[in-house]
């Protein structure tokens, strides 16, 4: 006899109420591509699965005036193929495109990728480089924060009991803004990043402004390298600046050694990929 | 606690009583008897379980049957119409893209999903589209050739 009960609430209020009622015995389900594996490997033992994957409040991509809202239950495949994302946030579309496989992307959600909070989460670096904010639902109301403050550690977010990620809001990049996401993997594909680099630069009269430079997979959470950003801001991205920024990024990260590769290798790849990303942006290349 | 789900599989209506943790894959294979989709890894890595849900290729091992309530599912068994093979199946045969056949249902369903979204695919796009499908036998080249040939045929020979 199954111990698990499957619930499909009709609204955020109902979902949150169920989450609070059942506490640690409940898990939220959307795409299920991470959750089901954890369940099968007995890493989690929920008695209630609360399916929020069908809630309309969480399922749209919309451009409003000066921002783009992406709901937590939006599939990675939808982000990959969205005209709005491809034209306004191309590095996010690139990130979506290299996440797992076609089949996984048709199930996996943005909210799942962010709330699972793997340090290597593919959607995080580009979103952080764009200055994205998250919206969080709680019975007390909706609170917002920068995505860069959402992650607390490997597999951990700041979400409290009963809180549900609603989605992300990305400020519309300025005219002349360019961005890129580079993902280094052991195999061609179907692999998590061993290093991820996202860079966003607003070009104003051939000078860099509002730089976002984010590393994934080389720290307990995705991290912004503010020292590197400060070096690049105000510069014309000359060779010296590129070298300095790449070195700052390599110094600031805290990569681990694991079964995939050594920390030293990751640190070296941070330098290589940061240099490559900056040079590609300088040359107007935004596709890897 | 079991749930009743209602779904269409290969055009037929089904009503099933399932445990919540039953995967769509197991529901298709054990409850309905459609054993074309295979459990190669049970973790969404190998693609042998790929079916179409509402016309999108997914790993059925990573979906719960309860999530497929109200959906339209297409498996490999649903491709041929009145004994006439789907063009993808014909292309796999014509190009010798099947050896042991274990990966084939998943490969074909993924290809179907890819071509439904974009009928005109380059070799590189096909390779990218099939990264979630592992084959132990063929070395992939005839599979890619089969899908590419079909893509060229559909687009009138213009690459």
pLDDT, tens only, A245-262: 999 999 999 999 999 999
Residues 78-137 of A with CB under 8 A from B: 81, 100-104, 106-107
**Residue range A87-113: average pLDDT?**
98
Per-residue pLDDT, B154? 79
| DSSP summary character for residue A111 | H
Per-residue pLDDT, A277? 98
Chain A nearest CA to B107, separation (Å): 11
- Average pLDDT over chain A reads 96
**Residue range A79-106: average pLDDT?**
98
**Residue range A16-24: average pLDDT?**
95
pTM: 0.96
pLDDT-derived band at A188 (thresholds 50, 70, 90) equals confident
Q: Exposed/middle/buried for B101, CB within 10 Å: 0-12, 13-18, 19+? A: exposed
For chain B, how far is it from start to end, CA to CA, in angstroms?
53
> Which regions in chain B score pLDDT beneath 70?
156-159
The b-or-e profile of B36-74 (16+ CB within 10 A means b, else e) is bbbebebbbbbbbbbbbbeebbbbbbbbbbbbbbebebb
Closest to A99 (Cα-Cα) out of A57, A127, A71: A127
Closest to B47 (Cα-Cα) out of B123, B104, B98: B104
Q: What is d(CA A216, CA A193) in angstroms, rounded to the nearest whole number? A: 8
**Residue range A148-164: average pLDDT?**
96
For residues A179 and A126, is the Cβ–Cβ distance under 8 A?
yes
Per-residue pLDDT, B1? 84
Q: What is d(CA A144, CA A137) in angstroms, rounded to the nearest whole number? A: 9
Closest to B36 (Cα-Cα) out of B88, B141, B86, B107: B107
Chain B nearest CA to A25, separation (Å): 15
ipTM of this complex: 0.96
Per-residue pLDDT, A288? 52
**Residue range A51-72: average pLDDT?**
97
Residue A156: enclosing H or E segment and its boundaries?
A: strand A156-157
Per-residue pLDDT, B104? 98
For residue A83, pLDDT over 70 is answered with yes
**Residue range A275-283: average pLDDT?**
96
Per-residue pLDDT, B153? 86
Tell if the CB–CB gap between B1 and A33 is shorter than 8 Å. no
Tell if the CB–CB gap between B20 and A33 is shorter than 8 Å. no
Tell if the CB–CB gap between A102 and B110 is shorter than 8 Å. yes
Of B63, B113, B117, which has the smallest distance from its Cβ to A107's Cβ? B63
Q: What is d(CA B76, CA B36) in angstroms, rounded to the nearest whole number? A: 6
Closest to A16 (Cα-Cα) out of A65, A74, A45, A58: A58
For chain A, how far is it from start to end, CA to CA, in angstroms?
50
Tell if the CB–CB gap between A2 and B113 is shorter than 8 Å. no
For residue A97, pLDDT over 80 is answered with yes
**Residue range A79-93: average pLDDT?**
97
**Residue range A63-67: average pLDDT?**
95
Per-residue pLDDT, B159? 47
Nearest chain A residue to B21, by CA: A4
Per-residue pLDDT, A287? 65
**pLDDT tens digits for range A175-186:** 999 999 999 999
Query: Across-strand partners of B4?
Result: B17
Per-residue pLDDT, B155? 73
């Amino acid at each position: 006899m199954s111990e698990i009960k499957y619930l499909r609430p009709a609204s955020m209020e109902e979902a949150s109420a169920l989450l609070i009622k059942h506490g640690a015995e409940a898990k939220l389900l959307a795409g299920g591509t991470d959750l089901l594996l954890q369940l099968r490997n007995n890493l989690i033992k929920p008695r209630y699965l609360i399916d929020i994957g069908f809630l309309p409040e969480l399922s749209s991509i919309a451009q409003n005036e000066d921002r783009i809202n992406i709901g937590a239950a939006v599939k990675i495949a939808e982000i990959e193929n969205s005209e709005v994302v491809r034209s306004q946030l191309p590095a996010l579309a690139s990130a979506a495109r290299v996440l797992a496989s076609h089949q996984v992307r048709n199930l996996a959600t943005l909210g799942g990728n962010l709330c699972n909070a793997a340090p290597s989460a593919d959607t995080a670096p580009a979103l952080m480089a764009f200055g994205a904010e998250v919206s969080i639902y709680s019975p007390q109301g909706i609170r917002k924060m920068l995505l860069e403050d959402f992650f607390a550690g490997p597999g951990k977010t700041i979400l409290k009991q009963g809180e549900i990620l609603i989605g992300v809001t990305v400020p519309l990049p300025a005219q002349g803004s360019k961005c890129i996401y580079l993902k280094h993997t052991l195999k061609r594909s179907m692999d998590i990043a061993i290093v991820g680099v996202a860079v966003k630069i607003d070009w104003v009269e051939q000078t860099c402004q509002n730089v976002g430079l984010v590393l994934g997979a080389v720290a307990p959470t995705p991290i912004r390298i503010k020292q590197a950003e400060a070096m690049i801001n105000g510069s014309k991205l000359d060779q010296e600046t590129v070298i300095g920024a790449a070195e700052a990024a390599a110094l600031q990260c805290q990569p681990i050694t694991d079964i995939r590769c050594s920390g030293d290798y990751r640190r070296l790849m941070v330098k290589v990929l940061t240099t490559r990303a900056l040079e590609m942006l300088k040359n107007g290349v935004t596709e890897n | 606690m079991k749930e009743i789900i209602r779904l269409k599989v290969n055009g037929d209506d089904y009503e099933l009583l399932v445990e919540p943790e039953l995967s769509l894959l197991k529901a298709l294979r054990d409850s309905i008897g459609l054993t074309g989709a295979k459990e190669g890894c049970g973790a969404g890595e190998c693609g042998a379980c790929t079916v179409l849900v509402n016309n999108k290729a997914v790993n059925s091992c990573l979906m719960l049957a309860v999530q497929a309530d109200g959906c339209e599912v297409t498996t490999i068994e649903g491709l041929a119409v009145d004994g006439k093979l789907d063009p993808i199946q014909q292309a796999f045969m014509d190009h010798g893209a099947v050896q042991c056949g274990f990966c084939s249902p998943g490969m074909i369903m993924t290809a179907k999903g890819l071509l439904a979204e974009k009928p005109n695919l380059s070799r590189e796009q096909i390779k990218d589209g099939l990264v979630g499908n592992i084959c132990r036998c063929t070395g992939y080249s005839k599979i890619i050739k089969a899908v590419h040939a079909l893509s060229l045929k559909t687009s009138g020979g213009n690459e």
